[in-house]
């Protein structure tokens, strides 16, 4: 397989990213959420990444800012998702490259942690752990074990708390 190139999205990629999301998910909700995220306060352009194979966009992941409310106050952390790989290229490590690149780019931006809602079986291999280990909950309508998290700074999640996703995520959860 040709090498995968992972880079930040540009405006020229929006249509191709829609196509990736529409092909990977059933329905339009994830593609719509990505469009809404771009207009939202929490959007971090450097953390909306595409995977290119032979010049074609075959995968996408976005990390955006969400609030963590804990006893010690409020802070910004990152939420990963949606993420998608076109079905014809899945199971070839492209999703893993996207996640590892996203984590590597998030670290120097000094956020404390990353959370993910959904698919715990997939994300744990990258170091995400059940959010319940830190007493973390969220405002999304998901089962407790569907929320996983990764500290980017050791001890950052020790105080637990509630992850407050913006309302636009409620089109999925």
Ligand X SMILES: CC(C)(COP(=O)(O)OP(=O)(O)OC[C@H]1O[C@@H](n2cnc3c(N)ncnc32)[C@H](O)[C@@H]1OP(=O)(O)O)[C@@H](O)C(=O)NCCC(=O)NCCS
74 versus 145: smaller Cβ distance to ligand X? 145
53 versus 156: smaller Cβ distance to ligand X? 53
CB 117 to ligand X: min, Å: 8
Give the residues lining the site for ligand X (CB under 6 A).
24-25, 81-85, 90-96, 118-119, 121-122
CB 126 to ligand X: min, Å: 9
CB 55 to ligand X: min, Å: 18
38 versus 69: smaller Cβ distance to ligand X? 38
48 versus 84: smaller Cβ distance to ligand X? 84
Exposed (0-12), middle (13-18) or buried (19+): which is 8, by Cβ within 10 Å?
middle
By Cβ distance, which residue is nearest to ligand X? 95
DSSP 2: P
CB 130 to ligand X: min, Å: 15
Which ranges of the chain does DSSP label H, i.e. alpha helix?
14-24, 29-39, 94-106, 120-123
CB 129 to ligand X: min, Å: 15
118 versus 161: smaller Cβ distance to ligand X? 118
């Amino acid at each position: 397989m040709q090498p995968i190139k992972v880079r930040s999205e540009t405006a020229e990629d929006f249509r191709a990213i829609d196509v990736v999301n529409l092909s990977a998910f059933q329905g339009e909700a994830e593609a719509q959420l990505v469009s809404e995220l771009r207009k939202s306060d929490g959007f971090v352009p450097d953390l909306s990444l595409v995977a290119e194979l032979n010049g074609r966009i075959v995968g996408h992941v976005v990390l955006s800012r969400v609030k963590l409310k804990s006893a010690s106050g409020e802070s910004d952390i990152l939420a990963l998702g949606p993420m998608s790989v076109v079905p014809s290229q899945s199971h070839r490590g492209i999703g893993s490259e996207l996640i590892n690149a996203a984590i590597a780019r998030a670290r120097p931006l000094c956020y404390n942690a990353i959370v993910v809602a959904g698919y715990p079986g997939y994300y744990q291999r990258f170091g995400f752990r059940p959010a319940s280990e830190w007493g973390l909950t969220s405002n999304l309508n998901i089962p407790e074990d569907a929320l996983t998290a990764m500290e980017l700074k050791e001890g950052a999640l020790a105080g637990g708390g509630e992850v407050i996703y913006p309302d636009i995520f409620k089109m999925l959860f």
